[in-house]
Amino acid sequence: MSIVLDEQYYSKLEELQAISFALVELTLYLDTHPHDAQAIQQFNQLAMQQHQCRQAFESLYGPTLQFGNSFSNYPWQWSQSPWPWQV
């Protein structure tokens, strides 16, 4: 069984990837600027936004993270493709 890839799939995946990229960049910045309160606030806001975005994406298209970082519906969804890194 595979998931139907519609425009919403790509749009939501791109949004999730953009938020994740911003979090990586902020993490690197905060490693060298640990007292930047504004950057910490932005990091926390994006972390919450990423969590909500990931939940919305996974409820429609299945898990994005392995090893217990994402839940799976029944039947086991990791056998379904495409996986986010394949599109």
Position 13 scores a pLDDT of 93
Q: Could you give the angle at the alpha carbon of 38 between the alpha carbons of 36 and 43, nearest 5°? A: 95
**pLDDT by position in tens, the chain (length 87):** 456 678 899 999 999 999 999 999 999 999 999 999 999 999 999 999 999 999 999 888 888 877 665 665 666 665 566 666 676
Contact 16, 49 (CB under 8 A): no
User: Residue ranges of the alpha helices (H) in the chain?
Assistant: 7-32, 37-61
Do 87 and 5 form a contact (C-beta atoms < 8 A)?
Answer: yes
Q: What is the pLDDT of residue 21?
A: 95
* Per-residue pLDDT at 85: 66
Domain boundaries, the chain: 1-62
59 is written with which tokens? 């409820």
The per-residue pLDDT for 73 is 62
